[in-house]
Amino acid sequence: MVTSEVVPQQVRIPLAPESLSAERIAYLDGLLRQAKHAAAVFTQYTQEDVDRIVKPMVVAGLEQAQYLARLAVEETRLGVMEDKALKNMVATEFVYNYVKDKRTVGAIREFPERGLVEVAEPIGIILSLTPITNPTSTVLFKCIMAIKTRNAAIFSPHPNAWRCCHEAVRIMYETALKHGAPEGVFTCLESHGLPENAYLMRHKDVGLIDATGGPGMVKAAYSSGKPALGVGPGNTPVYLEKSADLNMAVVDIITSKTFDNGTICASEQTVVMDDEIYELALKKFADLGAHICNEKETKVLERTVIDPETGYMQPIAVGQRAADIARMVGIPVKADTKLLIAPIQGVGREHPLSAEKLFPVLAVYRAKSVDEALKVCVDVNHAGGIGHTAVVFSRNEEVIRKFGEVINAGRIIVNSPGSIGAFGGVYNDMVPTFSFGCGTGGGNSTMDNVNVYHYLNIKRVARRTQAHMWFRVPNQIYFNMNAVENLHRLESKSTIIITNPAMEHMGHVDIVRRHIPARTLVHVSVIPDAEPEVAVIEQGVEALHFYKADQIIALGGGSVIDAAKIMKLKYESPDADLEELAAPFMDIRKRVVEYPTMKVNRARLVAISTTSGTGSEVTPFAVLTDKLSGRKVTLADYSLTPDVAIVDPQFVMSMPKVLTADTGIDCLTHALEAAVSIYASPYTDSNAMQAIRLVFKYLPIAYQRPQDEEARSMMHNAACIAAIAFSNAAVGVNHALAHAFGARFHVAHGRANALMLPHVMAFNASVPTKFMPSPNQRGYIAHKKYATIADLLGLGGSTVDEKVKKLIAATEKLLDQLAIPHSIAELGISREDFEQAIPDLAKIAFDDPSWRSNPRMPLVTELVQLFWSAYEGWGGASASTHKHSA
């Protein structure tokens, strides 16, 4: 337990042990050596060994409780023997009741669902400083804690409580030794001196200082540079609120404040009472043996029991009976007076009795309101008691809640005595202790009731866990020729078709309208064929509101579908802030900014794609351009995924050849990047692999023979399937490069992807300079994934390396078949222009979130190298990579 020492401001612990003789140092080294051996040997003990020792120690402490209490009172002249005996019993029986079933050896806690095990590691040697006010109980408590945690302890008692502490240590040690504890596990300094403490505090073999005592000693412990459990002084405010059970409160306060003559630092110091109950409460105190001081008596007390120079309590009063204090200072009271109650008008140095008083003198304050009462309690709390203990008596939950919020105390005791309540385990379910942590406010390392876990190093054995994954797709996907007919299944009162002028011109809108049930009101909103802008979105949302739409049909390429996704988002959740929702994230599953779930409108989104590449009809992504700010934001959330996707090849039969090639390679890039992504799963692999197979088989045909229905259909399916894969596994560094390069040199996305693709495959297939953290994968597997794809395509090769090479060659051949340039240089971009752009390109590519799912983490220098490889053309990348061992 923390105590303010008798004269705390006078305590000085020297910082250096120069005053120690060589003999004294040898003596201390001998103690340390003995403790060190004991602590080391103790590490071999099992939980059962330890528990076999603890129980008889507790019994011994209980048997000797009165004997040790008597010794303590005789030696210290403080407190009450009966109360000290009770404290000795709490320190043994109550503490044992808490620790007996606690695991403190080996695995102490397991969290199988989190793959975590906590394993106890003893500290070694604990230097244990004990106070004068609770000498033997603190020793008993610390001995039990040390044995339970397999530590050795060296005790350094307060000099004025040395004999009783030494006896307590002896009883504990002999009992522990008899039951198997290592020889030397407890020692007690044979004589006490501050230089000895300073030497021990700084000794390399001491693992922890547990300093229970006055502020000087606690400060010395913290200043030693050693880990320390030093706990601070108190000044306990009590709020006696008008709704409280007054009879109970008065008895509790008297019980607590007179317990061991008020030596417990958690005992009540100033009681703030509501005006309405003030007189009645004082009467009840008086009826139960308290003396209510008049103004003159209060002044006498202020001058005598508090040092006017320092503002601290006078040592002579500490732990003395109320009647004796009254006699000493000349206040006439009955011989059986339990408590002196002194009304005060404020808190601080000008009101001396508002300070901590470790004797049965209690200050009381009459408050006119709850607000005033709470403020006075805060004042008392801040007048030397931050972090320690506070008490509130009330039946008003709001008052209790507010008190708990405004008072900074590790123990906020409700409707019970402060001192005995703070121990824990008697009046409440707090952890039993004799050492009260006061948190940083009190200059302490902990605010807990110090317990066995503070005597342990707790190691965490963390097993590898797989991240939770999922696979999300639209509710319904209709595919193959004339899949659009399925629109007739979708009930709607009011439908808006979002499309672009080309679709209307080509008659595609009419085809769609034809299959919408006749009873549905249909409106068409034509938007420009470009990445959606804020203004376009706003107009679309207005139309949705105007027509009270319950269904949106997006007919077009990626831009139109993206626009419809954002319109739906703003229509259903008008307060959605697109800028905020576009906040960067690393993993969509763990993103900080969450999309709205409360919706004021509901509309089904049906996406009909008219290109075979982006797969926007099934993806959770949408890109928005804000012309005013010049910014492009990417929105990503599964709530953006269309509800229904229609993959009908009739809408892509007339795609131009270049568009067929570019979108087809975009689709292939999606599939290849999803296949090697760190988020790849068996679910995404099945889609990625199938998409890759379809692209290699049907893209050249669709390119060469645009009217080949089967090829068009299969490529349309491939785009959708690849998008399903990358919607759940994400893309990679190829997209990061393509985004940066395409935007800078105005190259179509699919074509930009194509220019990077062979180089990125070679990059990913080689041994990474930096691996990407990837809990779901065992080892680096990108090259093996490529080899698996090569096998799927029947490309041959007998080793992984050969298969990878054949896949890259097949990809280059495919690009050739689609008349895609071999290099960036072939686009007509000069080397000088490209060189000038490279620093920006690398920076932008590195900022692009796409690569964060890439199997290989790219260094900026590697991004530069990849850009240059793409500039030079095929064959330049693989030469610079390391091969995997077969």
Partner 1 sequence: MSTIAEGFKIEGDRVAECIHEAHMQLDTVCDQTTLDFSSVLRITPRDLRAMEELADRAENESVKVVLCGVNVDIYKVLKLVKLAARFSFATNGAGSIELGREENRHAEPTN
Residues annotated catalytic, as ranges: 265
Q: Which is nearer to partner 1, 177 or 588 (CB)?
A: 177
CA–CA dist 277, 213 (Å, integer): 37
**Are 341 and 291 a contacting pair, CB within 8 Å?**
yes
In the complex, minimum distance from the CB of residue 766 to partner 1, in angstroms, rounded to a whole number? 13
Place of tokens 């194509």: 754
Tell me if 768 contacts partner 1 by CB under 8 A: no
Tell me if 38 contacts partner 1 by CB under 8 A: yes
**Are 123 and 456 a contacting pair, CB within 8 Å?**
yes
Q: Which is nearer to partner 1, 183 or 275 (CB)?
A: 183
Q: Which of 330, 507, 779, 828 binds partner 1 (CB under 8 A)?
A: 779
Query: Is the dihedral angle over the CA atoms 383, 389, 395, 399 positive or is it negative?
Result: positive
In the complex, minimum distance from the CB of residue 57 to partner 1, in angstroms, rounded to a whole number? 19
Cα 481 off chain centre by: 52
Q: Which residues, 373 to 412, sit near partner 1 by CB under 8 A?
A: none
Q: Which of 131, 184, 232, 732 binds partner 1 (CB under 8 A)?
A: 184
Q: Which is nearer to partner 1, 693 or 785 (CB)?
A: 785
Q: Which of 39, 702, 711, 740 binds partner 1 (CB under 8 A)?
A: 39
Tell me if 66 contacts partner 1 by CB under 8 A: no
Question: What order of strands is seen across the sheet that includes strand 186-188?
Answer: 186-188, 152-157, 125-130, 206-212, 228-231
How many chain residues are in contact with partner 1, going by CB under 8 A? 28
Tell me if 47 contacts partner 1 by CB under 8 A: no
Instruction: Give the range of 32-40, 51-59, 416-424, 433-441 binding partner 1 by CB under 8 A.
Output: 32-40
Tell me if 34 contacts partner 1 by CB under 8 A: yes
In the complex, minimum distance from the CB of residue 750 to partner 1, in angstroms, rounded to a whole number? 28
Instruction: Give the range of 179-187, 232-240, 291-299, 367-375 binding partner 1 by CB under 8 A.
Output: 179-187
DSSP 664-676: HHHHHHHHHHHHH
What kind and span of H or E run contains 157?
A: strand 152-157
CA–CA dist 135, 157 (Å, integer): 8
| 395: three-class secondary structure by DSSP | coil
Tell me if 556 contacts partner 1 by CB under 8 A: no
**Are 618 and 645 a contacting pair, CB within 8 Å?**
yes
The one-letter code for the residue type at 356 is: E
Q: Which of 10, 19, 43, 97 binds partner 1 (CB under 8 A)?
A: 43
| 109: three-class secondary structure by DSSP | strand
Q: Which of 36, 338, 670, 751 binds partner 1 (CB under 8 A)?
A: 36
Tell me if 785 contacts partner 1 by CB under 8 A: yes
Tell me if 781 contacts partner 1 by CB under 8 A: yes
Q: Which is nearer to partner 1, 184 or 474 (CB)?
A: 184
**Are 301 and 340 a contacting pair, CB within 8 Å?**
yes
The one-letter code for the residue type at 858 is: P
Place of tokens 């590790």: 410
CA–CA dist 515, 490 (Å, integer): 10
Tell me if 40 contacts partner 1 by CB under 8 A: yes
Strands (E), 1-49: none
Instruction: Give the range of 188-196, 221-229, 628-636, 773-781 binding partner 1 by CB under 8 A.
Output: 773-781
Tell me if 784 contacts partner 1 by CB under 8 A: yes
Q: Which is nearer to partner 1, 292 or 781 (CB)?
A: 781
Tell me if 44 contacts partner 1 by CB under 8 A: yes
Q: Which of 9, 24, 25, 37 binds partner 1 (CB under 8 A)?
A: 37
Instruction: Give the range of 29-37, 234-242, 531-539, 744-752 binding partner 1 by CB under 8 A.
Output: 29-37
**Are 527 and 615 a contacting pair, CB within 8 Å?**
no
Q: Which 3-state string (H, E, C) describes 678-739?
A: CCCCHHHHHHHHHHHHHHHHHHHHHHHCCCCHHHHHHHHHHHHHHHHHHHHHCCCHHHHHHH
Q: Which is nearer to partner 1, 202 or 884 (CB)?
A: 884
CB contact set of 869 (below 8 Å; sequence gap of 6+): 759, 876, 877, 880
CA–CA dist 368, 229 (Å, integer): 40
Q: Which residues, 671 to 690, sit near partner 1 by CB under 8 A?
A: 680-682, 685
Tell me if 880 contacts partner 1 by CB under 8 A: no
Give whole-number Cα distances, 880 to 226, 755, 762, 843, in Å.
53, 17, 9, 22
Q: Which is nearer to partner 1, 688 or 820 (CB)?
A: 688
In the complex, minimum distance from the CB of residue 101 to partner 1, in angstroms, rounded to a whole number? 25
**Are 166 and 137 a contacting pair, CB within 8 Å?**
no
Tell me if 457 contacts partner 1 by CB under 8 A: no
Closest to 2 measured CA to CA, from 328, 374, 410, 476: 410
Q: Which residues, 94 to 153, sit near partner 1 by CB under 8 A?
A: 124
In the complex, minimum distance from the CB of residue 863 to partner 1, in angstroms, rounded to a whole number? 24
Tell me if 182 contacts partner 1 by CB under 8 A: yes
Tell me if 183 contacts partner 1 by CB under 8 A: yes
Q: Which of 9, 777, 823, 880 binds partner 1 (CB under 8 A)?
A: 777
Closest to 185 measured CA to CA, from 224, 225, 128: 128
Q: Which is nearer to partner 1, 468 or 778 (CB)?
A: 778
Q: Which is nearer to partner 1, 654 or 686 (CB)?
A: 686
Residue numbers at the binding site for partner 1 (CB under 8 A): 34, 36-41, 43-44, 124, 182-184, 680-682, 685, 776-781, 783-785, 884-885
